Structure 1
């Protein structure tokens, strides 16, 4: 609730929205001190969430096999309670949700979102209307880089309402379908890997990373990763073709979702499959997945124009992208030593090499990793998705959702569990530090200091260290006990 209330102050809200006319909100949003106060409320809410989540993780890690069912139900119920207040919130910590609403309306009006940006919805005399008031100006004239799945959903929602806030709620409901799929798939994947299903679910579903970026932030990535997890389970427990269809639909949300088909191939092959057998099965899975990716857009009339817009996100340089940082440093050094190379020469080269690296890692996993083993399939998918994020030309906080669910279900050691907890904790706490503060630079600086202080309280104090270490130790002990049981 604190995140929702503070978010109404710091989030971008269309001026025509009814809530924007509330006197108190106008005062708070119209002053720097008011926005800072809203940010503090958000951070207090996230801090309370983080503390409660750590305790929930600790209790989940301690649950023995008999209590895991009840603990899993508690984790799911807690996730629902933490998510409900955010269902009707505006897009928090990012404006992407407003872009989704505008792109869905474009599709509904018969204007291709792959050829035109939200600017096409602007009224006469270039006056922005309700549907475009919240869209980031950077993306007003750019086409949609997403597959047909979210656009079809946005088209359907636009047939019922033209209110951008309600359209945002509809898109959040679509994202929460991904959360439901994760709630179903994660415990199964954890059991495959001999991990604690309650703790794995807690690490994935209720984490600050998920709440801040997947639910509050309203990003398509949540639906994508939910379809990926479901694809892997369905492929193994039902039929490879069904898994391939879900993998194609995941790519139809965002293209990296299709990488789950690598794991679908591995998990549905017999043990010790030869390279020739792997390639033949890859071709079968690929054909079905591509059909599931392409056909919805063709049938709906959207086509495959999103292929030409895949480079749109890469027009932004993000500090979380390793290739972008390395390439930028090379360009800076080249200027300092006077090489005379054009701007961003090394940036483009490093990004290209990194993308080739993603292909190489994916091919290596597909051709060399063990087949017919559920645990190894999950590990392989975690490796591919982690490499994809590490080598991507653009990385945002919500990209961590691509691999965290597949790492969390593995039977991890103490260090790895602690690192995963810390990653989820920090990435959730720093989510408010973005453009949603619309120019409140002092608020960003002060907010960053508050986040640093919160992280210190959560990670440096003796009690917090004991809590974090307890999660890792309990999971490590459970892993040892499971290993002993597996080997008699």
Structure 2
């Protein structure tokens, strides 16, 4: 437990040296932090602290997973409470941290302020705040000129509308009505993200009971992994709130009523559209086993109509409208190295260029991306029409399948997109190899988070980070002791009484 808290503190301290901060931030006025950030040695030392902290978190997480996987007697009864307590104390040091390993948190704050001052974030980018539209709003920190809230926004997104749904933007608008201090606003968005973690802490044990797996181990795999701590809590990405709502929607839809679950699924989509994929699982689980195709289609239609009604209704109630639909293409303006379809298309474009085919730029990239989107729709439709009905455990597998298809085939994939997978895969009856792979991927995707967009152009830091990871990852995953520990976790069996 102490090891995890120490790791979080190291991530916090190092994060102040490597993350993007507004130049007007009071933390930079003392001069000491500014001097550290301005020196190459200081930035590299901060990066090393972050990676060391993530290494401690990963080590503590594996130890906790092994403990709850092999718990007996009194320890077994207390295991779930231990996991939830660890999630609380490990997350606590990061609550006040700036957005780590990505600037998205600063964009969230600016988008909420746009809505607060009457500028639609679906039509305007954060740079529109530089017109001093915020100067009349009260702010005890006297930072309402508009500039401070835009200073740390990634220039790539400064002039683009937001693709996020009305629930996410409305929550940001509420926060912007209380303060214009960008740091306070991003802390507010982290609290919103942590609400998603709370929802997962409630929903994941219930999903695990449906499938007959260890609820404490499933919760540990989801709530405390390096992937979650680095990208969900540290990065405060709204994917965490989305996936928390998705898990809660599935539980409520199956255990209460499909309409209530669908409404919560629509709230997930109102954060980010992929959250609506959970509604497929709700529809499948709430019709009788072996239901005829007509019965299945009727429930799917009812679920779809309810979800769309709630989603569009939120746009009306919040006054934000439905501009997010047109803005869904914004993320696709970039190419990310984790997108298989973008990479495959890029390789084909390069081959075409070498062969002198004279094709327009990105011809194959756009074509393969289009095939990927068709593939996502095809997988979702196949699951909806052919997956087993009336089975709770099968519903979890259905959601796991469609979300995996989304992550694999999506035109744009960031590290935090993978947050949607653990809640549904960790609650399945996975074999030893599959569970070991889930553990390894969770460690790797969390540990490499500092090498994402926060270090673009910082070549020495990237080299140092890669060298450090080259030492840490084998120690955490490949040494004999590490492999034995992961195997004990992956081979554990804890049958649950239904």
* TM-score when normalising by structure 1: 0.96
Which of 87, 94, 97 lines up with 2:102 in the alignment? 94
Which of 291, 295, 302 lines up with 2:313 in the alignment? 295
The answer for the alignment partner of 1:190 in structure 2 is: 208
User: Counterpart of 2:20 in 1: which secondary structure?
Assistant: coil
User: Counterpart of 2:359 in 1: which secondary structure?
Assistant: coil
Which of 315, 320, 338 lines up with 2:338 in the alignment? 320
CA deviations 1:120-146 (Å, max 9, x no partner) are 00147xx97111001000000000100
Task: Describe how 1:203-218 pairs up with structure 2 within 5 A.
Answer: 203-218=221-236
CA–CA separation in structure 2 for the residues paired with 1:362 and 1:109? 39
Stretch moving more, 297-306 or 98-107: 297-306
Q: Give the conservation status (yes or no) of the 8 Å contact 1:171–1:218.
A: yes
User: Counterpart of 2:489 in 1: which secondary structure?
Assistant: helix
Residue 368 in structure 1 maps to residue 396 in structure 2? no
Which of 112, 127, 146 lines up with 2:164 in the alignment? 146
CA–CA separation in structure 1 for the residues paired with 2:295 and 2:106? 46
Residue 68 in structure 1 maps to residue 86 in structure 2? no
User: Counterpart of 1:248 in 2: which secondary structure?
Assistant: helix
The answer for the alignment partner of 1:201 in structure 2 is: 219
Q: Give the conservation status (yes or no) of the 8 Å contact 1:98–1:168.
A: yes
The answer for the alignment partner of 1:104 in structure 2 is: 112
Residue 232 in structure 1 maps to residue 240 in structure 2? no
RMSD value over aligned CA atoms?
1.4
Task: Describe how 1:235-384 pairs up with structure 2 within 5 A.
Answer: 235-384=253-402
Deviation at 1:405, TM superposition (A): 1.1
CA deviations 1:275-299 (Å, max 9, x no partner) are 1111111111111111221112211
Q: Give the conservation status (yes or no) of the 8 Å contact 1:32–1:440.
A: no
CA–CA separation in structure 2 for the residues paired with 1:165 and 1:47? 27
The answer for the alignment partner of 1:81 in structure 2 is: 89
Q: For residues 245 and 332 of structure 1, do their structure 2 counterparts lie closer, same or farther at Cα, with a shift above 3 Å needed?
A: same
Stretch moving more, 201-210 or 444-453: 444-453
Q: Give the conservation status (yes or no) of the 8 Å contact 1:68–1:197.
A: no
Stretch moving more, 20-29 or 193-202: 20-29
Deviation at 1:60, TM superposition (A): 1.3
User: Counterpart of 2:412 in 1: which secondary structure?
Assistant: coil
CA–CA separation in structure 1 for the residues paired with 2:440 and 2:317? 44
Deviation at 1:471, TM superposition (A): 1.0
Residue 28 in structure 1 maps to residue 36 in structure 2? yes
CA deviations 1:100-121 (Å, max 9, x no partner) are 0000000010100000000100
Deviation at 1:68, TM superposition (A): 3.4
CA deviations 1:262-287 (Å, max 9, x no partner) are 00100111111111111111111111
CA deviations 1:331-380 (Å, max 9, x no partner) are 01111111111110000000001100101100110011110100000001
CA–CA separation in structure 1 for the residues paired with 2:164 and 2:146? 23
User: What is the count of residue pairs matched by the alignment?
Assistant: 478
Deviation at 1:438, TM superposition (A): 5.5
> Structure 1: 5+ residue runs without aligned partners?
none
CA–CA separation in structure 2 for the residues paired with 1:87 and 1:22? 22
CA deviations 1:32-86 (Å, max 9, x no partner) are 1110000000011101111000000101111247643311100000010110111
CA–CA separation in structure 2 for the residues paired with 1:11 and 1:145? 24
Q: Give the conservation status (yes or no) of the 8 Å contact 1:12–1:438.
A: no
* TM-score when normalising by structure 2: 0.94
Task: Describe how 1:156-167 pairs up with structure 2 within 5 A.
Answer: 156-167=174-185
Residue 221 in structure 1 maps to residue 239 in structure 2? yes
Q: For residues 398 and 113 of structure 1, do their structure 2 counterparts lie closer, same or farther at Cα, with a shift above 3 Å needed?
A: same
Deviation at 1:23, TM superposition (A): 2.0
Q: For residues 90 and 196 of structure 1, do their structure 2 counterparts lie closer, same or farther at Cα, with a shift above 3 Å needed?
A: same
Deviation at 1:435, TM superposition (A): 2.5
Stretch moving more, 338-347 or 115-124: 115-124
CA–CA separation in structure 1 for the residues paired with 2:381 and 2:397? 15
> Structure 2: 5+ residue runs without aligned partners?
1-8, 133-144
The answer for the alignment partner of 1:53 in structure 2 is: 61
CA–CA separation in structure 1 for the residues paired with 2:362 and 2:284? 39
